[in-house]
Amino acid sequence: MTYGKQRVYKKVEVIGVSPVSIEEAIKSALHRAHHSLERVSWFEVEETRGHVNEKGEVSEYQVVLKVAFELK
Amino acid sequence: MTYGKQRVYKKVEVIGVSPVSIEEAIKSALHRAHHSLERVSWFEVEETRGHVNEKGEVSEYQVVLKVAFELK
Amino acid sequence: MTYGKQRVYKKVEVIGVSPVSIEEAIKSALHRAHHSLERVSWFEVEETRGHVNEKGEVSEYQVVLKVAFELK
Amino acid sequence: MTYGKQRVYKKVEVIGVSPVSIEEAIKSALHRAHHSLERVSWFEVEETRGHVNEKGEVSEYQVVLKVAFELK
Amino acid sequence: MTYGKQRVYKKVEVIGVSPVSIEEAIKSALHRAHHSLERVSWFEVEETRGHVNEKGEVSEYQVVLKVAFELK
Amino acid sequence: MTYGKQRVYKKVEVIGVSPVSIEEAIKSALHRAHHSLERVSWFEVEETRGHVNEKGEVSEYQVVLKVAFELK
Amino acid sequence: MTYGKQRVYKKVEVIGVSPVSIEEAIKSALHRAHHSLERVSWFEVEETRGHVNEKGEVSEYQVVLKVAFELK
Amino acid sequence: MTYGKQRVYKKVEVIGVSPVSIEEAIKSALHRAHHSLERVSWFEVEETRGHVNEKGEVSEYQVVLKVAFELK
Amino acid sequence: MTYGKQRVYKKVEVIGVSPVSIEEAIKSALHRAHHSLERVSWFEVEETRGHVNEKGEVSEYQVVLKVAFELK
Amino acid sequence: MTYGKQRVYKKVEVIGVSPVSIEEAIKSALHRAHHSLERVSWFEVEETRGHVNEKGEVSEYQVVLKVAFELK
Amino acid sequence: MTYGKQRVYKKVEVIGVSPVSIEEAIKSALHRAHHSLERVSWFEVEETRGHVNEKGEVSEYQVVLKVAFELK
Amino acid sequence: MTYGKQRVYKKVEVIGVSPVSIEEAIKSALHRAHHSLERVSWFEVEETRGHVNEKGEVSEYQVVLKVAFELK
């Protein structure tokens, strides 16, 4: 990539989930985005939330991300 | 849906309008989203605005929504 | 356009860059959006940033925009 | 109205109340603004609040709006 | 109530739901708060969201409120 | 005032200054507003800032307020 | 208190009022919280507002606070 | 102007438009404000938006400003 | 849980700490909430902070959460 | 100072504390900044917090400020 | 620069001014930062403001920036 | 540290990166700050972002922190 050169990026908002960790929830969302979007360049965490089961344990982390990729 | 199971959601931003009410503007946006997106799971109201006619009446409510749906 | 008439808009987030000015970065993003999206109606500037080269000069302005267009 | 033509708008903040609904509170504020301001073009909802009576019922909805009108 | 007189309020965050409207979701939360809290004086809407069923219809509005009441 | 009765408020933004304290800056703005606006009902502090003299002392507190009054 | 040791805090939102000053409104809320909550550790000011009497004077300062205390 | 001396400012919100640039939209709003308000001291940009024509070009920049002036 | 059925949730703000990780701080807060509140359904991370010891190491992560549970 | 003349300011974030009042906490931070920074021109209050002792009294106000000074 | 390699950045807040344009105000701040800071990598616009002269003209644009640079 | 005793803190903004986890990115920034700043007392996470490589994997987490330390 050369700075100053004409290009346009798009950002889309996705939510990844993981029973393990915040990082795994991020990776899960990026993995899915890699399949349907053009190559993702970076991500930004918007929100971190989660679901709690009946024992008071985290059943999953839910991470809302913006992912950015270049429009070719 | 089972919590903790791998899945990814996407959120898109849409604007519905209605001359009648905020609820009708929401429904209008969801109705349209139902046609082109995979099944919508939930929505979040981002902004409520409206246009006013020359008699000082609301000609339409404009509701900016995020709608979320699972990526299959 | 007639206010009060049923219609739905969508907003997407894009980033335009330009070595020249904030306005050129906006135009660059709109030009690209015009090719792939249905007709854009308006834009909203979300963020203005930029890259700086080794001489301390702006190598490019980066403008994050929301662009809105009617869903037909 | 022609886009690109020189004009200036002003926004003022008003609060409408209604015992009935959020929409009626909005209309009430617009009705009043219509009398003292130049023609209102649009509104933006800033806050929705309300008062509760001793039975736990909503005695009124209070909606804080920005209303915009063209300065002639 | 006399302004300037010593008193303390508390605010708690509750979420009301209704399949009908935003106003009904607010009333539902206030009705419940009326039973367990001391007399509620006012509310502030924090967020408006909702669930969507498989036909693309709003199955319920979810309104996040702050409700305020005087501590006796 | 009776809750549920039709009325409309307006909010305007003013800045009061005082070399003494934040409270005096608020009072100064309210005193001035009392002369030109209809009776002010309440205020909300938006920002607190100040100017510093060459000895590193506060030469004045500047408080940005919204003041609200009923439109008759 | 030892950092790194397991403990959990709770924050609750309270509003103190005083005809005298912002500091007195804070103290008033803390005094009340001290009676019903476990020992308060710190507070954070969320909002500063006030009521104005018919002479344009502050009849009371209203300070919205979060107060935090350890859950034993 | 002498710091520490009693004075009160007011801020009003205006929107300027220009087909040329963000700076021209700001100037346009200030020019208009200069005619009806007491002398404007400073401005703050709140939002930058714009309208897009059917060719994907910016037909106008719309800049929402707060303008501040001293109340005499 | 059936969507559209009458129910009310409450959210409370708690802070969990852990010398190990952000996830452990979340779990610690949820574990404690599970003992005193009705069954927690979900959480939202509000703030992530931490204390640093004299060697420049994280002595604990402090995570401010909202936890939500149904009022029965 | 002449407006329009080339100059650059820097803002740094400091926290002042005082057992007495918010104003004293501000002055305390400015007094310290006066010793190590070039001449401070203005300040902006970012956050107001405090510590509470075991009797429920404010042991100190903590005010987070941005202080701005010209770079020579 | 290689992503994934250990490095630390710092951000500082500066304000540039220019009688000409927003872009010139940005450049002015970057030019000054280039002299005293290690090499600046990027900037983010935080606020755009300006001073207005007695004719209602912009005497200067004031742009508040965060500038980021790598700590070596 | 004794509460109520005169002291002043400063906060600076730093960005740590790590290919491994959010916690490692935080530690990396704190480690660096420990070398050049006076003893850091606490940190606050401002933003969590990251870079993505051509396989759709996280090449590094980037965490923007405020770190606070006492000015002696």
pLDDT in tens, chain J (72 residues): 688 888 999 999 999 999 999 999 999 999 999 888 778 999 999 999 999 999 999 999 999 999 999 998
Chain K's closest residue to C46, CA to CA, is K45
Q: Which residues pair with E10 in a beta bridge?
A: E69, G14
Write out the H or E segment, with its range, that includes residue G36: helix G22-36
Strands (E), chain F: 8-18, 40-52, 58-71
| D37, pLDDT greater than 80 | no
Name every chain K residue with its beta carbon within 8 A of the beta carbon of J38: none
J4 vs K16: CB contact, 8 Å cut-off?
A: no
Q: Look at A35 and L31; give whichever has higher pLDDT.
A: L31
CB-closest option in H23, H41, H45 to K52 = H41
> Strands C58-71 and D58-71, how do they pair?
unpaired
Q: What is the mean pLDDT of the segment spanning L40-58?
A: 96
Q: What is the mean pLDDT of the segment spanning L6-23?
A: 96
Structure tokens at C57: 């000069």
**Is there a contact between L62 and L29 (Cβ–Cβ < 8 Å)?**
no
Spatial distance between the Cα atoms of B57 and J58, rounded to a whole number of angstroms: 51
- Name the CATH architecture for the domain at L9-71: 2-Layer Sandwich (3.30)
| I38, pLDDT greater than 80 | no
Q: Cβ-count burial of H7 within 10 angstroms (0-12 exposed, 13-18 middle, 19+ buried)?
A: middle
Structure tokens at C37: 């999206």
Low-confidence ranges of chain F (pLDDT < 50): none
Q: What is the mean pLDDT of the segment spanning A61-69?
A: 97
Query: Is residue B64 less than 8 Å (CB to CB) from chain E?
Result: no
Instruction: Kindly give, in sequence order, each residue whose CB lies less than 8 Å from that of residue K2, ignoring residues fewer than 6 positions away.
Output: none
I39 vs A54: CB contact, 8 Å cut-off?
A: yes
Query: Is residue J1 less than 8 Å (CB to CB) from chain K?
Result: no
Please tell me the predicted confidence (pLDDT) of residue A70.
93
The string of pLDDT tens digits covering residues D52-66 is 999 999 999 999 999
Spatial distance between the Cα atoms of D61 and L55, rounded to a whole number of angstroms: 52
> Strands G8-18 and K58-71, how do they pair?
unpaired
Write out the H or E segment, with its range, that includes residue K24: helix K22-36
Which residue is listed with tokens 């009043």? D32
The string of pLDDT tens digits covering residues H6-50 is 899 999 999 999 999 999 999 999 999 988 877 899 999 999 999
Low-confidence ranges of chain K (pLDDT < 70): 1
Query: Is residue K49 less than 8 Å (CB to CB) from chain C?
Result: no
K59 vs J4: CB contact, 8 Å cut-off?
A: yes
Query: Is residue G42 less than 8 Å (CB to CB) from chain J?
Result: yes
| D38, pLDDT greater than 80 | no
J52 vs G44: CB contact, 8 Å cut-off?
A: no
Please count the residue pairs, one from chain J and one from chain K, whose beta carbons lie less than 8 angstroms apart. 39
Chosen from G20, G48, G58, G59 to mutate, greatest number of chain F CBs within 10 A: G48
Q: Look at L35 and I16; give whichever has higher pLDDT.
A: I16
Name every chain F residue with its beta carbon within 8 A of the beta carbon of J44: 47-49
Please tell me the predicted confidence (pLDDT) of residue E41.
95
**Is there a contact between E71 and G32 (Cβ–Cβ < 8 Å)?**
yes
Q: Cβ-count burial of B30 within 10 angstroms (0-12 exposed, 13-18 middle, 19+ buried)?
A: buried
K26 vs C55: CB contact, 8 Å cut-off?
A: no
Of the candidate ranges C28-32, E64-68, L32-36, L52-56, the one whose mean pLDDT is the lowest: L32-36
Nearest to B24 by CA among D22, C43, D59, E64: D22
Please tell me the predicted confidence (pLDDT) of residue C2.
81
Which residue is listed with tokens 């008193």? E7
Which residue is listed with tokens 């305007």? F12
Name every chain A residue with its beta carbon within 8 A of the beta carbon of L49: 42-45
F11 vs D14: CB contact, 8 Å cut-off?
A: yes
Chosen from K18, K48, K53, K64 to mutate, greatest number of chain H CBs within 10 A: K48
Spatial distance between the Cα atoms of A69 and D8, rounded to a whole number of angstroms: 37
Query: Is residue A70 less than 8 Å (CB to CB) from chain L?
Result: no
Name every chain J residue with its beta carbon within 8 A of the beta carbon of L5: 17
H14 vs D12: CB contact, 8 Å cut-off?
A: no
Q: How far is CA L9 from CA E4, F17, H35, L72, in A?
A: 36, 27, 47, 9
Chain J's closest residue to G37, CA to CA, is J56
With the C-alpha atoms ordered F39, F42, F45, F49, is the resulting torsion angle positive or negative? Answer: positive
The string of pLDDT tens digits covering residues E27-71 is 999 999 988 877 899 999 999 999 999 999 999 999 999 999 999
Spatial distance between the Cα atoms of E70 and L53, rounded to a whole number of angstroms: 55
Spatial distance between the Cα atoms of A45 and A30, rounded to a whole number of angstroms: 12
Query: Is residue K19 less than 8 Å (CB to CB) from chain J?
Result: yes
Question: Average pLDDT, whole number, for chain A?
Answer: 94
Name every chain A residue with its beta carbon within 8 A of the beta carbon of I21: 21
Phi, psi of F50 (to 5 degrees): -175, 165
Name every chain G residue with its beta carbon within 8 A of the beta carbon of F41: 51-52
| G17, pLDDT greater than 80 | yes
Instruction: Kindly give, in sequence order, each residue whose CB lies less than 8 Å from that of residue G32, ignoring residues fewer than 6 positions away.
Output: E8, E71, G14, G16
Please tell me the predicted confidence (pLDDT) of residue D60.
97
- Name the CATH architecture for the domain at A8-71: 2-Layer Sandwich (3.30)
Name every chain D residue with its beta carbon within 8 A of the beta carbon of H10: none
**Is there a contact between C23 and C63 (Cβ–Cβ < 8 Å)?**
no
G71 vs I32: CB contact, 8 Å cut-off?
A: yes
Question: Average pLDDT, whole number, for chain L?
Answer: 93
Other Cβ atoms within 10 Å of C56 Cβ, number: 17
Query: Is residue K53 less than 8 Å (CB to CB) from chain H?
Result: no
Q: Which residues pair with F40 in a beta bridge?
A: F69
DSSP string, H2-65: -TTS--EEEEEEEEEEESS-HHHHHHHHHHHHHHHSS-EEEEEEEEEEEEE-TTS-EEEEEEEE
Chosen from H20, H28, H32, H53 to mutate, greatest number of chain D CBs within 10 A: H32
- Give E54's Cβ-side CA count (13 Å radius): 0
Q: What is the mean pLDDT of the segment spanning H65-71?
A: 95
Q: What is the mean pLDDT of the segment spanning B18-30?
A: 97
For the CA atoms of chain B, what is the radius of gyration? 15
**Is there a contact between A3 and C51 (Cβ–Cβ < 8 Å)?**
yes
With the C-alpha atoms ordered J22, J25, J31, J36, is the resulting torsion angle positive or negative? Answer: negative
B55 vs D34: CB contact, 8 Å cut-off?
A: yes
> Strands A8-18 and I8-18, how do they pair?
unpaired
| Residue J34 one-letter amino acid | H
Which residue is listed with tokens 């050169």? A5
Q: How far is CA J25 from the centre of its chain?
A: 8
Q: What is the mean pLDDT of the segment spanning C26-55?
A: 93
Q: How confident is the model at residue L31 (pLDDT cuts 50, 70, 90)?
A: very high
| C26, pLDDT greater than 80 | yes
Which option is the CATH number for G10-71: 3.50.50.60, 2.30.30.40, 3.30.460.80, 3.30.1660.10?
A: 3.30.1660.10
pTM: 0.96
Q: Look at J53 and L36; give whichever has higher pLDDT.
A: J53
Looking at chain I, which subunits does it touch, using at least 3 CB pairs closer than 8 Å as the criterion? Answer: A, E, G, L
Q: How far is CA L31 from the centre of its chain?
A: 9
Spatial distance between the Cα atoms of J29 and J31, rounded to a whole number of angstroms: 5
C17 vs A11: CB contact, 8 Å cut-off?
A: no
Chain L's closest residue to A69, CA to CA, is L52
| I1, pLDDT greater than 70 | no
Chosen from F52, F53, F59, F63 to mutate, greatest number of chain J CBs within 10 A: F52
b/e sequence H22-50, b meaning 16+ C-beta within 10 Å: bbbbbbbbbebbbeebeebbbbbbeebbb
Dihedral, CA atoms, E28, E30, E31, E34, nearest 10 degrees?
A: 160
Interface ipTM: 0.95
C52 vs K67: CB contact, 8 Å cut-off?
A: yes
**Is there a contact between G52 and J62 (Cβ–Cβ < 8 Å)?**
no
Q: How confident is the model at residue C63 (pLDDT cuts 50, 70, 90)?
A: very high
**Is there a contact between A11 and C14 (Cβ–Cβ < 8 Å)?**
yes
